[in-house]
Structure 1
Amino acid sequence: MDTYMFLIFVFSVLVFPGLLFTVILSLFTQYLVRKISARFQRRMGPSYVGPYGVLQPFMDFWKLLRVKELVKSKYSMQRVAEISLLIGIACITGAIILLPIGLFNVRSPLDYLVFFYMASVMPVLALVLASLSTPGPYTSLGVSRLLSILTISEPVYFTGLFVPCFIATAGSPMLLSIGSASTRVMELWSHPVTAVILLLSLLALIVALQSKAMYPPFNIPEAEQELIAGFETEFSGPLLALVSLLHDMDLTVSLLAVVYIVLGGPAPFPHFSLGGVVMVAFKYVALLIVSVAIKNIFGRYRLEQALIQLLKYGAAPALAATLLAMAWLLLPPA
């Protein structure tokens, strides 16, 4: 790797689309969630810190970072929790480089599997390990509920992205490559059969994203009336700031993955064009508005209700999309 490519790599990891860009976009996403939710509830939302309150999430994050961590139990392992959360943030930062966003794009066959492992599996493991490092009765119950929900939502999310990525790259040397899939997936929307497959995948992904973000009606792991703050109960100060940032970064990268793998990213405009940037932003905000609308319309499910709804509206469409994709690829055209 020559000096120029090394500098591009460092810039991509640390600035765009790496750590700095991901953190800024995550905090802005939190701002949009809070602002749109406030409109649904006839409130103002963030309004005073920065233009239109856009800097309020950053100020909240900064205040938590400056607060001293209170260790309430001799069994708490604060350093383990901090390291776990930082590893989760690092994995998400590395995963976003696999999306065709920046100047330095890592593209290879089967890179979708690496992306899913870094962007979805590792943050969950980091969050669970950090929660169990600060033990408590509410923490344990919150973690158990979280794992119960993610047992269904993570496979649904994986399948919802896997099916479009697979059928878009089938027969290509770049099988299951996110970059190749994002450039070809718009062609699939023009065919009636593959359009149905993509619609089923998109439906499953919307349900899975709602569950991954722990938004209503799937905010069971942190039900205030039952579990105080659930798996976050023992967090305060810098730990709570890192947990909040990890959650927002997870949601941000998950939305970007849907935008690029299922909705074609900047298509029909070229990459790095003004129209392409506007199109990516439009698709991203549209998905976020759908998620926030569901968040404010529905009440919280009980655990068994949530699992049933995940199976009905998440797993079932994902399975149907998988079967249709197999039939589309294996059966000869009429």
Structure 2
Amino acid sequence: MDVFQLLFATLIFPGLVFLTALSFLTQYLVRKLSARMQRRMGPKYVGPVGILQPVYDFLKLLRAKELLKTRYSMIRAAEISLLLGLSSLVASMLLLPLNVYSVGSPYDFLIFFYMASIWPIIMIIIASLSMPGPYTSVGVSRLLSILTVSEPAFFTGLLVPVALASFDTNAPLMISATAVRVVNLWMNPLTLPIMILVTISLIVAVQSKLMLPPFNIPEAEQEIIAGYETEFSGPLLALAILLHDMDTVVSALAIVYLVLGGPAPFSHASIEGVLLVILKYFLVITVATYVKNVFGRYRIDQALVLLLKYGLMPAVIAGVLGSIYLYL
């Protein structure tokens, strides 16, 4: 029975099928919200109110568009890298409290972060370098420059509430324990400033981690065409876009559970808990989309300075304050 439950969790919910569907829905929401903010219509032709447009775009790239290659292209290496990145994100979903088949354990936050944040980035870089080109090299170098600041900021921003919420339990750095207790940190006047700093840090870190404006320097279409994605086409481009959308979903869900408390104070089994998770997820996506449409792209030097000031520093300060709070 456990084997079938694990297969269901991996392949259906909250695994491959659910994550893929939510990725397409999230892409639709981002495109629709962006269009409204820019006084455009957005997707509207494929499916009811255009909701199937991301699915159509994915299938068109996957089946109808030609895969272009150069003399030095390593297509199989790129395909395998992107598929490994997708698999890692699917596996990370099993560690969230959303999973009906619990596989959590103490310190599972560290495993989750590695699978949800580190591994997909490594795979996208390997995939890009497998399709070499002058613009690809520039895009990868810019991507690595951004990640040297954004990934530590994202990790620290998530680590602080996890450490605070699970410090005095027998489940240190455990995601499920954090999701249950993190709401208390918002209610405590001593930890409220810490959570505010963490939220500010994560807003900035997520924008840069997902290469959304104003931190989309690695893509910078007007300068380097599409950066690390320049040599992607057809099925490779479809997988790269899906990997980005899945990364968006998993990052947003990590914030929902580890910072906003998921369904708390309700449970997943209740209608109120499900609605609260949906509301918090929509809030995270809306904030990211709003920032995306309000700011223009920064230069690489400007981006790194702002990431240090508003991404990494608030997280570090929150970590110092959290350490003081725990040992008082």
TM-score bucket (shorter structure): over 0.9
Residue 274 of structure 1: aligned partner: 271
Identity of aligned residues (%): 58
Q: Secondary structure at the match of 1:221?
A: coil
Q: Secondary structure at the match of 1:103?
A: coil
In structure 2, the gaps of 5 or more residues are none
In structure 1, the gaps of 5 or more residues are none
Distance in 1 (CA, whole Å) between partners of 2:70 and 2:172 is: 50
**1:139-171 CA distances to partner (integer Å, 9 max, x unpaired)?**
000000001001100010000000000010002
Distance in 2 (CA, whole Å) between partners of 1:66 and 1:146 is: 29
Residue 173 of structure 1: aligned partner: 170
Distance in 2 (CA, whole Å) between partners of 1:207 and 1:124 is: 18
2:96 counterpart of 1:94:
no
Residue 141 of structure 1: aligned partner: 138
Distance in 1 (CA, whole Å) between partners of 2:65 and 2:194 is: 50
**1:168-196 CA distances to partner (integer Å, 9 max, x unpaired)?**
00021100000011001111111111111
Q: Secondary structure at the match of 1:171?
A: coil
TM-score (norm 2): 0.99
**1:237-283 CA distances to partner (integer Å, 9 max, x unpaired)?**
00000000000000100000000011000012122211111100100
Residue 306 of structure 2: aligned partner: 309
Aligned length: 328
Structure 1 stretch displaced more, 76-85 or 261-270? 261-270
User: RMSD of the alignment, in Å?
Assistant: 0.8
CA shift, 1:102, in A, is 2.2
Asked whether the 8 Å contact 1:69–1:239 carries over to 2, the reply is no
The letter of the residue matching 2:321 is L
Distance in 1 (CA, whole Å) between partners of 2:42 and 2:244 is: 20
The letter of the residue matching 1:134 is M
Residue 226 of structure 1: aligned partner: 223
2:254 counterpart of 1:257:
yes
2:49 counterpart of 1:52:
yes
CA shift, 1:105, in A, is 2.0
* Paired residues for 1:87-166 under 5 Å: 87-166=84-163
1:23 aligns with one of 10, 20, 25: 20
CA shift, 1:69, in A, is 4.1
TM-score (norm 1): 0.97
Residue 292 of structure 1: aligned partner: 289
**1:13-72 CA distances to partner (integer Å, 9 max, x unpaired)?**
000000000000011000000000000111000001111100000000000000354343
Distance in 1 (CA, whole Å) between partners of 2:112 and 2:235 is: 27
The letter of the residue matching 2:263 is P
1:239 aligns with one of 236, 241, 254: 236
2:77 counterpart of 1:85:
no
Distance in 1 (CA, whole Å) between partners of 2:36 and 2:124 is: 30
Distance in 2 (CA, whole Å) between partners of 1:266 and 1:54 is: 26
The letter of the residue matching 2:289 is V
Distance in 2 (CA, whole Å) between partners of 1:111 and 1:268 is: 22
Distance in 2 (CA, whole Å) between partners of 1:49 and 1:23 is: 18
Asked whether the 8 Å contact 1:71–1:78 carries over to 2, the reply is no
Residue 324 of structure 2: aligned partner: 327
